[in-house]
Amino acid sequence: MTAASNLFEQQRANRRRSAVLVAIFIAFFAWVGFGGDLGFYFTTLEAPPTAYHHTIPWFGIGATLLGIGMAWFAWKRGPKQVLWATGAWQLLEPSTPEEQQFVNVVEEMAIASGLPRPNIWIIPDKDPNAFATGVDERDAHVAVTEGLLITLNRDELQAIVAHEMAHIRNYDVKLMTLLAALVGVIAIISEGAWRVLRIGSMSRGGRGGSRGGGGKKGGAGALGLIIIVLWLVTLLLAPIVSRLLALGVSRKREFLADATAAQFTRNPAALATALRKVEDASAPTKSIKRGTAHLCIADPLGRRLTSKEGFLANAFATHPPMAVRIARLKRMAYQYEQTGEIPEEV
């Protein structure tokens, strides 16, 4: 498969995954709403005629509409929310040599990648890191920390920027930004469910055990309780599942972005040394939160998992092992020295 066909296939796959992700997110909200409606319907089915009977699926209608609205908001406003959450500020007029070099490098890599120049942002954090976000190549953003500008030389900074431009060209940014926004929303909903459960348990704690004559439930009531339990389990486990999904999506794209960056710069060794400096620097990157960790070039939460291989690293690390990425880039640099050609894959 040629590099061009591989790129187009990657872009098509990312568009499909973005659409599937939105559909899953809306379906999750529909289940939160209609699942709750179904549970309450069965629990109130055998209630006395004068008691409340839950027959109209208000929860489902409201939750589905809310899910659609949030998915639309994440699609349109996700990049700005990600940048806002990190405290990044947009670099419009460089005021230091490091800032001017950053602008120059971004413009060079925009030309090398054939993309419009993205908006440039700086994150006020001393730990070296970087990420790209955006909806498409016409509305893309590259953000780096202050620590990255100080730590890397020009070739290494160029390699890091090329990696982020590769994410933009491969349409990774839309999918990964969408994931960041939706994972955050699901986490908020789950936290709300936990609080409701805690408040409910506290309110029942001061009451007596059973009330006379109220302990029997028919089959419909028992079925309703089972559905409500499944509904609550879904709410509580959703953040874990969505986070693992985000991590899996991120890890698979880092290798491709490394290889594409080497194609842009013709200097895979520079990216290898840049990643080594980033890995060896102090962590975590305090300005970047857990929900957006998968966007970064290196794990901003600490390097304990990404420095290892194995089941835990594969399941919970935001990135593939840095040692593996560096070794692949060094092998690519060796092949480039021998043949004068950059391999299509790391």
> What is the set of active-site residues?
164
83-to-62, 96, 153, 160, 168 alpha-carbon distances in Å:
29, 22, 25, 18, 16
Amino acid, single-letter form, for residue 72: W
Nearest to 126 by CA among 159, 101, 97, 149: 149
Helices (H), the chain: 3-30, 36-45, 58-86, 97-113, 146-151, 154-169, 172-205, 219-265, 268-280, 311-316, 322-339
Q: Which residues of 60-92 are buried (b: 16+ CB within 10 A; e: fewer)?
A: beebbebbeebbeebbeebbebbbeebebeebe
Distance, in Å, from the CA atom of 275 to the CA atom of 164, rounded to the nearest integer, reads 13
Amino acid, single-letter form, for residue 29: F
**Number of neighbouring beta carbons within 10 Å of residue 230:** 14
Q: Quick one: how far is CA 179 from the chain centroid?
A: 4
Nearest to 166 by CA among 75, 258, 100: 258
Q: Quick one: how far is CA 306 from the chain centroid?
A: 16
> Tokens at residue 133, please?
């976000």
Distance, in Å, from the CA atom of 284 to the CA atom of 293, rounded to the nearest integer, reads 10
Distance, in Å, from the CA atom of 18 to the CA atom of 92, rounded to the nearest integer, reads 31
